[in-house]
Structure 1
Amino acid sequence: MRLYHFLNAEYGLLNIRHRRLKIARISELNDPFEFLGVATKSASMRRRYQWLKDGLNDYMGVVCFSASWNNPVQWGHYADRHRGLCLGFDVTAETHKVTYAAERLLARPSTMKSEGPAAEAHVTEILTTKFEHWSYEDEYRLFPQLQDQDPSGHYFLEFDDNVALREVIVGDRSAISRDDIAQSLGPLARKVTTYKARLAFRSFDVVRQKNDRLWS
C-alpha cells in the first residue's frame, strides 16, 4: 500500500539522509483526545483508561501516514505551509486505518478485565478512533515497539522492505532543490521518484508539477 508522510524541509531531508522516520510518543500527540476517546462520567473509569494510555506510551509509539498527498490542509499543517515535503512509502508492515466518529466510544470495562480477542479489539478501537473533524487526514497508523532509544532521546523507524521509500514530493512553496534531494537520497535515488508539487488550477488540490523546468 502506498502511504504518505508530511514533514518540514529540515526534518524531511534529515529523515531521507538517515533512512528513518521519527516515532511519535503517544503522550505527546497534538490531539488531547488521542487514546482517551471513551465516554464515561466515572472518575475511576477515566483513571483506568488513562492508565491504559500511560502503559501504551511506555511500550509503543505511533507513525502516522495518509492515504494521499493531495490535500492542501495537510501540506499547510504538517509540511510547514507547503514549504516542506511529503514522502511516499510502500508499506507492507501492519497498519491500522483510523475511523472518524462524531461521538466518543462506549466504555467497555468488562472487556478489559482479562486478555483476549475482546480486549484486543477494544484497545485497537481506542488506538484508531478520532473525532470526525480530523477526517481530512485520511490516516493510517503503524504502532512500532519502542526499542533502541537514540542519543537524542527519540525513537526511530528505519526504512526497510516493510516501509520502503518510493516518492519524494517537494512542496509548492519549498526552496528545496533537486540537488538537495539527490544528495540526501544518495544510492537510494534509483528507487525513488522525485517531483515538485503545485496548486491545481481548477480544484482545491495539490498536484504534480509536470513542467520540470519550474523546479531547479
Structure 2
Amino acid sequence: MLLYKYRGIQSFRFFTDIILKQRLYAAPYFDLNDPMEGRYLYSQSGGSIDQDMKRLLKGEKEKIRICSLSRDPKNELMWSHYAEGHKGVAIGVEVDRNKYEVEPIIYDGLHRVGLHNFHHGSAIDVLSHKLDVWQYEEEERVFVRNNKQYVNVKIREIICGSRMSTQDIGFITELVQKVNPKIEIVNARTNSAYV
C-alpha cells in the first residue's frame, strides 16, 4: 500500500534529498504542527500515574521521531496546506513495515493513560491519537528510535500538483528519469502519467 508525503518544492534541496537518497525526514513530536501533539489525559478509573511514570513517558516520547504520511493522494486540504497550494508534489512511497513501526492515527481525542494501560509502548499510544479536527489527513505515522532521523522508503510515484508550472514539471521529470526511471510522474489534475 502506498502512503503519501505532501511536499513543497521551493526548498528544492529537501525534495532532491528525498529523490536521491530514497528517505523521508522524521521529526521529534514537539516539532510537529499540532499544538496538542504528545499530550494525554490521566485516567482516574485505572488509577492515576505517578511522577516516575510521567517522567518515563516524557523520556520515551523524546526518544521517538515521527514521519507523517497520508493514505490519500487526492486530498485538497493536504495539497493546500502541505504542498505549496497545489504547486508541490505528493510522493507515493512504500515503507517496509517489517523494519519500521507504522501506525494509523486514531482520531478520538487525547489518549487516556492510567495504571491499567501503562506499558513500554505507551509513548507510541499517546503519539497515535489526535483530535478529530485532523481526521481529513488520513495519517499514518512511521516511528523511529535510536537517534535515527530518516525513514528509508521506496518511491513509486510523484504526483505533480495541479498548479505546478510547466518548467517545474519538466525539471522534476528530467531529474527523476536520471535518478530512477521506474518512478512514475503523475499529473494531479488528470491523474495520468507524464510521458
TM-score by length of 2: 0.80
Alpha-carbon distance, 1:212 to partner:
5.0
CA shift in 2, pair 1:122/1:147, >3 Å: closer
Q: CA RMSD in A?
A: 2.9
1:32 aligns with 2:35: yes
1:194 aligns with 2:185: yes
Aligned residue pairs total 184
1:126 corresponds to: 126
Give the secondary structure class of the aligned counterpart of 1:186: helix
Give the secondary structure class of the aligned counterpart of 1:109: coil
Amino acid at match of 2:94: D
Distance 1:124 1:157 in 2: 17
Give the secondary structure class of the aligned counterpart of 2:72: coil
1:115 corresponds to: none
Report sequence identity in percent. 23
Following superposition of structure 1 onto structure 2, how do residues 148-187 of structure 1 map, counting pairs within 5 Å?
A: 155-158=149-152, 163-175=153-165, 176-184=168-176, 186-187=178-179
CA shift in 2, pair 1:171/1:146, >3 Å: farther
Following superposition of structure 1 onto structure 2, how do residues 76-91 of structure 1 map, counting pairs within 5 Å?
A: 76-91=80-95
1:71 corresponds to: 75
Amino acid at match of 1:81: G
1:18 aligns with 2:21: yes
Indicate if the aligned counterparts of 1:13 and 1:184 stay in contact, CA closer than 8 A: no
More helix by share: 1
1:105 corresponds to: 111
Alpha-carbon distance, 1:38 to partner:
2.0
Amino acid at match of 1:143: F
Amino acid at match of 2:40: G
CA shift in 2, pair 1:212/1:29, >3 Å: closer
Distance 2:75 2:67 in 1: 19
2:142 corresponds to: 142
Mark the runs of 5 or more structure 2 residues left unpaired by the alignment: none
Amino acid at match of 2:178: G
Alpha-carbon distance, 1:137 to partner:
0.5
